[in-house]
Amino acid sequence: TQLLEQSPQFLSIQEGENLTVYCNSSSVFSSLQWYRQEPGEGPVLLVTVVTGGEVKKLKRLTFQFGDARKDSSLHITAAQPGDTGLYLCAVTLNNLFFGTGTRLTVIP
């Protein structure tokens, strides 16, 4: 059983649509990070959420940490082809532990 379950695994949508991806666990975490990885590159940190219920916005991306600090969601408004990539959530244990990711494709 994965510590972090990300869903969906794959998502293909048309440009302009909205979407939400999820990162779930049965464990409680002190913080959670979201990364985006583009083909041929390393992951890039998007945001860190710390407080239960916290919402952070990064342009068209909205990140939410669950009230119980066990889960998180990433919502993208009006997706664009540049949003294509692998979205990874990660939590701090002894070190940084990653989920297996959601692979998003935005079709022009």
Partner 1 sequence: EAQVTQNPRYLITVTGKKLTVTCSQNMNHEYMSWYRQDPGLGLRQIYYSMNVEVTDKGDVPEGYKVSRKEKRNFPLILESPSPNQTSLYFCASSLSGPFHGYTFGSGTRLTVV
Q: Which residues bind partner 1 (CB under 8 A)?
A: 30-31, 33, 40-45, 48, 88, 92, 95-101
Of 91, 85, 58, nearest to 72 (Cα)?
91
Nearer to partner 1 among residue 41 and residue 67 (C-beta): 41
Q: Are strands 10-14 and 102-107 parallel, antiparallel or unpaired?
A: parallel
Nearer to partner 1 among residue 66 and residue 101 (C-beta): 101
Minimum CB separation of residue 81 from partner 1 in Å reads: 21
Nearer to partner 1 among residue 47 and residue 79 (C-beta): 47
Note the residue count of the chain: 108
Rounded to whole angstroms, the Cα distance separating 69 from 51 reads 7
